[in-house]
């Protein structure tokens, strides 16, 4: 009887990650019930509903590359922010090196509606920003020209 009680106690006090359905917390797909998937933000969502977002940018019309970083000479770093309706907090990835010219975010929760890219100078001042809506499913490829 004591063993059964201990097993039951462990089951009832297991963290939400182990019991995560849609909306639960997770660190891998196996943490999500019913074949759900674990997003980059640690949330369980219905299988197949996670978004893939490809963010590309130019700076003053010039495409930066790691081998030719001149386009980013005035840029210290970028921030990429995903936003959902209030009261949900935004998810920001920073620093993003400007010289990459693009970044990919797979398995983003479908609650996000927009993505914003902000370019900062080396002192942390905002040089430029742009925001785009995301597709409600599948992949969204966005292209920004950060002009200043």
CATH number of the CATH domain containing 75: 2.60.40
Q: Are residues 79 and 119 in the same domain?
A: yes
Residues 6+ apart with CB under 8 A from 124: 76
Q: Are residues 40 and 55 in the same domain?
A: no
What is the band of 22 on the pLDDT scale with cuts at 50, 70, 90?
low
Q: Are residues 59 and 110 in the same domain?
A: yes
Instruction: Note the pTM of the prediction, 2 decimals.
Output: 0.82
Q: Are residues 87 and 34 in the same domain?
A: no
Q: Are residues 23 and 62 in the same domain?
A: no
Q: Are residues 140 and 79 in the same domain?
A: yes
Sign (positive/negative) of CA torsion 113, 117, 118, 120? positive
**Start-to-end Cα distance in the chain:** 71
Q: How many percent of the chain have pLDDT more than 70?
A: 84
Q: Please name the helix (run of DSSP H) or strand (run of DSSP E) that holds residue 6, with its range, or none.
A: helix 2-12
Q: Over 50: is that where the pLDDT of 140 sits?
A: yes
Q: Please name the helix (run of DSSP H) or strand (run of DSSP E) that holds residue 92, with its range, or none.
A: strand 91-96
Mean pLDDT over each residue of the chain, to the nearest integer: 87
Q: Are residues 85 and 129 in the same domain?
A: yes
For residue 106, what are the domain limits?
51-146
Q: Over 90: is that where the pLDDT of 9 sits?
A: no
Q: Are residues 10 and 37 in the same domain?
A: yes
| Number of domains within the chain | 2
Best CA proximity match to 72, nearest among 9, 117, 25: 117
Q: Are residues 35 and 59 in the same domain?
A: no
Whether the Cβ atoms of residue 19 and residue 33 lie closer than 8 Å to each other: yes
Mean pLDDT, to the nearest integer, of 55-81? Answer: 94
Q: How far is the C-alpha of 22 from the C-alpha of 72, rounded, in Å?
A: 40
Q: Are residues 96 and 26 in the same domain?
A: no
Q: Are residues 71 and 142 in the same domain?
A: yes
């Amino acid at each position: 009887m004591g063993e059964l009680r201990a097993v039951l106690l462990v089951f009832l006090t297991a963290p939400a990650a182990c019991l995560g359905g849609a909306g639960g917390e997770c660190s891998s797909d196996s943490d999500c019930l019913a074949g759900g998937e674990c997003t980059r933000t640690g949330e369980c969502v219905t299988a197949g509903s996670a978004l893939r977002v490809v963010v590309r940018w130019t700076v003053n019309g010039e495409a930066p590359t790691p081998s030719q970083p001149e386009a980013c000479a005035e840029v210290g770093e970028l921030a990429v922010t995903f936003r959902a309706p209030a009261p949900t907090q935004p998810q920001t990835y920073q620093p993003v090196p400007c010289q990459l010219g693009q970044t990919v975010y797979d398995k983003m929760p479908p609650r996000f509606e927009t993505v914003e890219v902000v370019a900062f100078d080396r002192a942390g001042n905002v040089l430029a920003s742009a925001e785009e809506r995301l597709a409600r499913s599948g992949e969204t490829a966005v292209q920004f020209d950060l002009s200043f």
